C-alpha cells in the first residue's frame, strides 16, 4: 500500500520570516489533514535548519533538499552533500528536477551520480522526469520518460528502489497554470510503473510512489490524486501559502 505524499518545493522563494510564517501556518492546520497523508517541505538550503527546528513538534511533516552533490565532501563551491542534508534534518532530496535539467544543465550522467550519492547517503530520493511541450507534440513522451528512467535508474538494486520516489512533471505544466488532465497524467504514471515492473519486477513497481507535479492547485488536486497510479503531488507555486498547500493535502480525502 502506497501512502500519499504531498511535497512542497519552495524553489528559490521566501525570505526567513516568510518561511517561518508558512511553516507556522502549515503546523496550525495540520490536524485537518488526514493522518494517512505524508507531508514534505523542500525549502532553499539556507532555511533547512530553521524549518527543521520548527518541525520538531511533529513527525508528520518531513524535510527535503532541492538537490545534492555526488561527492561526500571536497572543493565544490556552492554544493551540498547528502550527509549535510541528513545532518540538517532532511529525509528526502529531489534529483533531476526539470529546472536542474533545463536551467542548470544537469545531464543524465550527473543525475545518475547524484541519485546514487543520495541513496548511498541514506536519503529517500525523489527522481523527477517529464517531457517538454515539443516532445509531447511529437508523440515522444513515452520515449523521453523511458530514456530518463533508463539512463539514471539502470542497475539500482531492490533495496535502493525502496527508497526511491518518482515525480512525473511535464515541463509544459510547470509554473504555467496548465495542468496535465488527470487522464494524461495517469497515462504517463501507468507507463512509468509498467517500465519499473519490466526493469525491477512487479513487487518493486507496485511499491514505488509516483508523484505528479505541474500547476497542482487545491481545486485540481482531488481529481489528480484519485488516479490509480498517482500517489501524491510535487507542488511548486501553491506550496508557498499555508492554505493552498493544506488544501492540496486535504484534497479528495473527504475533509475540506
Ligand atoms: P508549479 O506547481 O509551480 O507548477 O511547480 C511544479 C514544480 O516544479 C514542483 O517541483
Q: What is the DSSP letter of 66?
A: S
What is the position in ligand 1's atom list of the atom closest to the CA of 216? 2
The predicted model gives 170-195 an average pLDDT of 94
pLDDT single digits (tens) 197-243: 999 999 999 999 999 999 999 999 999 999 999 999 999 999 999 99
pLDDT single digits (tens) 109-150: 999 999 999 999 999 999 999 999 999 999 999 999 999 999
Quote the Cα angle for 223-125-32, to 5°. Answer: 45
User: Domains of the chain by range and CATH?
Assistant: 4-250 (3.20.20.70)
pLDDT above 80 (res 194): yes
Residue 88: which pLDDT band, with cuts at 50, 70 and 90?
very high
Which residue minimizes the CA distance to atom 7 of ligand 1? 236
Mean of the per-residue pLDDT values of the chain: 96
Please enumerate in sequence order all residues whose Cβ is within 8 A of that of 37, keeping only pairs 6 or more positions apart, or say none. Answer: 3, 4, 5, 6, 249, 250, 253
The predicted model gives 180-186 an average pLDDT of 95
Q: Is any ligand 1 atom within 6 A of the Cβ of residue 213?
A: yes
Instruction: Please provide the distance, in angstroms rounded to a whole number, between the alpha carbons at the two ends of the chain.
Output: 24
Which residues are the active-site residues?
Answer: 97, 169
pLDDT above 70 (res 54): yes
pLDDT for position 224 = 97
Q: Is any ligand 1 atom within 6 A of the Cβ of residue 22?
A: no
pLDDT for position 155 = 87
Which of 12, 44, 93, 169 should be mutated for ligand 1, with most atoms under 8 A from CB?
Answer: 169
pLDDT for position 175 = 86
Which residue minimizes the CA distance to atom 5 of ligand 1? 236
Residue whose cell numbers read 539556507: 46
- Phi/psi of residue 139, nearest 5 degrees: 55, 40
Q: Is any ligand 1 atom within 6 A of the Cβ of residue 171?
A: no
Look at residues 78, 87, 82 and name the one whose alpha carbon lies nearest to residue 70.
Answer: 82
Residue 126 burial by CB count (10 A; 0-12/13-18/19+): exposed, middle or buried? buried
pLDDT for position 177 = 84
pLDDT for position 255 = 64
Amino acid at each position: 500500500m502506497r501512502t500519499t505524499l504531498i511535497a512542497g518545493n519552495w524553489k528559490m522563494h521566501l525570505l526567513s520570516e516568510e518561511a517561518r510564517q508558512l511553516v507556522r501556518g502549515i503546523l496550525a492546520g495540520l490536524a485537518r489533514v488526514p493522518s494517512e497523508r505524508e507531508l514534505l517541505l523542500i525549502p532553499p538550503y539556507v532555511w533547512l535548519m530553521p524549518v527543521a527546528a520548527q518541525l520538531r513538534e511533529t513527525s508528520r511533516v518531513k524535510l527535503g533538499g532541492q538537490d545534492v552533490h555526488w561527492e561526500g565532501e571536497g572543493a565544490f563551491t556552492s554544493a551540498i552533500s547528502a550527509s549535510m542534508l541528513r545532518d540538517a534534518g532532511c529525509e528526502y532530496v529531489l534529483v533531476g528536477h526539470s529546472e536542474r535539467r533545463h536551467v542548470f544543465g544537469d545531464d543524465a550522467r550527473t543525475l545518475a551520480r547524484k541519485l546514487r550519492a543520495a541513496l548511498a547517503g541514506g536519503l529517500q530520493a525523489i527522481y523527477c522526469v517529464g517531457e517538454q511541450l515539443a516532445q509531447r507534440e511529437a508523440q515522444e513522451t513515452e520515449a523521453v520518460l523511458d530514456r530518463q528512467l533508463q539512463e539514471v535508474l539502470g542497475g539500482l538494486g531492490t533495496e535502493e528502489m525502496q527508497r526511491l520516489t518518482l515525480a512525473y512533471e511535464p515541463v509544459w505544466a510547470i509554473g504555467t497554470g496548465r495542468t496535465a488532465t488527470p487522464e494524461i497524467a495517469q497515462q504517463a504514471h501507468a507507463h512509468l510503473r509498467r517500465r519499473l515492473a519490466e526493469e525491477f519486477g512487479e513487487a518493486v513497481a507496485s511499491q514505488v510512489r509516483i508523484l505528479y507535479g505541474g500547476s497542482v492547485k487545491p481545486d485540481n488536486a482531488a481529481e489528480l490524486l484519485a488516479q490509480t497510479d498517482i500517489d501524491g503531488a510535487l507542488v511548486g507555486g501553491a506550496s508557498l501559502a499555508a492554505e493552498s498547500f493544506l488544501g492540496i493535502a486535504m484534497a479528495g480525502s473527504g475533509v475540506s
